[in-house]
Amino acid sequence: MSDWFRGRKNNSNGDENRAPVASGGVEEATIRTALKDVRDPELGRDLISLNMIRKVAISGSSVTVTVALTTAGCPMKHRISGDIVDRLKMVEGVEAVDVDFGEMTDSDRQNLMTSLHGEAAELAPAFTEGSKTRVIAVVSGKGGVGKSTVAVNLAAALDRAGKSVEILDADVYGSSIPVMLGAMEKPNVVEGVIFPIESPTGLKFISMGNFVNEGQAIIWRAPIVNKALTQLMRDVYWDEPDFIIVDMPPGTGDVALTVAQMIPKAEALVVTTPQADAARVAAKAGKMAVQAHLKVIGVVENMAYAECPDCGKELRIFGGDGGNAVAEELDSKILGRVPIEPDASGEPGNALYEEDSAPARAFDEVAASIAAVKVRKKLRVL
């Protein structure tokens, strides 16, 4: 047995050396073509191009597929197995499918990670100028106005609109995304490459909150925070989605500057509530983004109103016209007004508004406006 493969489950037909040719009408080539439809959920690419299918054995109508995982304890193992079985059972002539797992050798794994992630670079490809990925930083000077709520619900709305989207929780001290999305587990790390966590609703994200034990406070000085954040932008396998939504910490401090400096192509979405003081501080965050040469893409007024349960009228619970004030100050526009809706309760996994609810519709509008923006690529001077 070649050394790429360790710990193999010994439940195949035992005929390791048998040439994998067709018998009973099923061709190996047909099986391999079908396997191109099965993706590794973390790597986002198909098992054939990832060179993870190491053997296809066919005996009559039974097929055994041997898959080399990046690590034996890969958390996606059962999902991959289920996807293979589901896909191959659709192939004519296939009645039974068995999946064996092994593990890549160190050098196979290194080669795969280098080919996917590139050599040690300053930033993952998604954050670089040449990538199609648009990075939207959700900012506000003030705490508690709903940045994280906007970040996750905007991501969900973009996902509903058919865009691929991932979330970077840049609020290192006060990360709330893992709890909001109900996924507190530690991420999978292979050869120094960190894989985003997939929440139960299918949104992928990464957060420092997933590296520390629940309830544990992060007490770091600014340079360490910046280093951690830089690492998340460099060592995470961001699969160049259409959008990366960055949930920023409150304020206009160091983290905001790091993000602005490291990702000059990032666009800032400013969140405010209607109150005048929130608007003043939110505008400051927007101005800082402008000074750091980020483009302000628009303003979201969160907790803008409550819908009267009896008459359906907008009740402006908080006085003020914060959204318009911020938009005017930043020479930008309001992309959405999100009503107060107590369902975004902050309970684990309960931060996403139900599709078609009033707030979800507001986020759909914001997503549509953002997606409609044409991004001008910088022209290369010849």
Q: Which residues bind ligand ATP (CB under 6 A)?
A: 143-149, 171, 174, 176, 250, 302-303, 338, 340-342, 344-346, 359
Distance in Å, CB of 153 to ligand ATP, minimum:
9
Q: Which of 176/258 has CB closer to Mg ion? A: 176
How many CA atoms are closer than 13 Å to the CA of 151, on its beta-carbon side?
34
Distance in Å, CB of 107 to ligand ATP, minimum:
43
Instruction: Report what 312 binds from Mg ion, ligand ATP, none; CB cut-off 5-8 Å by kind.
Output: none
Does 148 interact with Mg ion (rule: CB under 5 A)?
Answer: yes
Q: Which of 113/183 has CB closer to ligand ATP? A: 183
Q: Which of 30/199 has CB closer to Mg ion? A: 199
Nearest to 351 by CA among 199, 194, 134, 239: 199
Nearest to 268 by CA among 254, 287, 253: 287
Neighbouring residues of 311: CB distance < 8 A, sequence distance ≥ 6 = none
Distance in Å, CB of 150 to ligand ATP, minimum:
7
Instruction: Report what 138 binds from ligand ATP, Mg ion, none; CB cut-off 5-8 Å by kind.
Output: none
Distance in Å, CB of 275 to ligand ATP, minimum:
13
Q: Which of 121/212 has CB closer to ligand ATP? A: 212
Q: Which of 91/145 has CB closer to ligand ATP? A: 145
Instruction: Report what 146 binds from ligand ATP, Mg ion, none; CB cut-off 5-8 Å by kind.
Output: ligand ATP
Asked whether 204 and 196 are in contact (CB, 8 A), the reply is yes
Edge to edge, what strands does the sheet with 267-272 contain? Answer: 197-198, 204-207, 165-169, 243-247, 134-139, 267-272, 295-302, 334-338
Q: Which of 226/302 has CB closer to ligand ATP? A: 302
- DSSP β-bridge partners for residue 198: 204
Contacts (CB under 5 A) with Mg ion, residues 175-234 = 176
Neighbouring residues of 47: CB distance < 8 A, sequence distance ≥ 6 = 35, 36, 38, 39, 40, 53, 67, 80, 84
Q: Which of 212/375 has CB closer to Mg ion? A: 212
Instruction: Report what 340 binds from ligand ATP, Mg ion, none; CB cut-off 5-8 Å by kind.
Output: ligand ATP
Neighbouring residues of 96: CB distance < 8 A, sequence distance ≥ 6 = 61, 62, 63
Distance in Å, CB of 355 to ligand ATP, minimum:
16
How many CA atoms are closer than 13 Å to the CA of 113, on its beta-carbon side?
23
Angle of CA points 304, 308, 313, to nearest 5°? 75
Neighbouring residues of 265: CB distance < 8 A, sequence distance ≥ 6 = 127, 129, 134, 135
**Which whole-number Å values give the CA distances from 122 to 98, 114, 119, 166, 222, in the listed order?**
42, 14, 10, 19, 19
Between strands 134-139 and 165-169, the pairing is unpaired
Does 272 interact with Mg ion (rule: CB under 5 A)?
Answer: no
Does 273 interact with Mg ion (rule: CB under 5 A)?
Answer: no
Distance in Å, CB of 172 to ligand ATP, minimum:
11
Distance in Å, CB of 341 to ligand ATP, minimum:
5
Name the segment binding Mg ion (CB under 5 A); options: 5-13, 57-65, 145-153, 259-267: 145-153
Instruction: Report what 298 binds from Mg ion, ligand ATP, none; CB cut-off 5-8 Å by kind.
Output: none
Instruction: Report what 145 binds from Mg ion, ligand ATP, none; CB cut-off 5-8 Å by kind.
Output: ligand ATP
Q: Which of 103/301 has CB closer to ligand ATP? A: 301
Distance in Å, CB of 224 to ligand ATP, minimum:
20
Distance in Å, CB of 148 to Mg ion, minimum:
3
Nearest to 248 by CA among 222, 268, 274, 218: 268
Q: Which of 82/346 has CB closer to ligand ATP? A: 346
DSSP 8-state secondary structure symbol assigned to residue 267: E
Query: What torsion, rounded to 10 degrees, do the Cα atoms 279, 233, 336, 297 define?
Result: 80
Which residues form the interface with Mg ion (CB under 5 A)? 147-148, 176
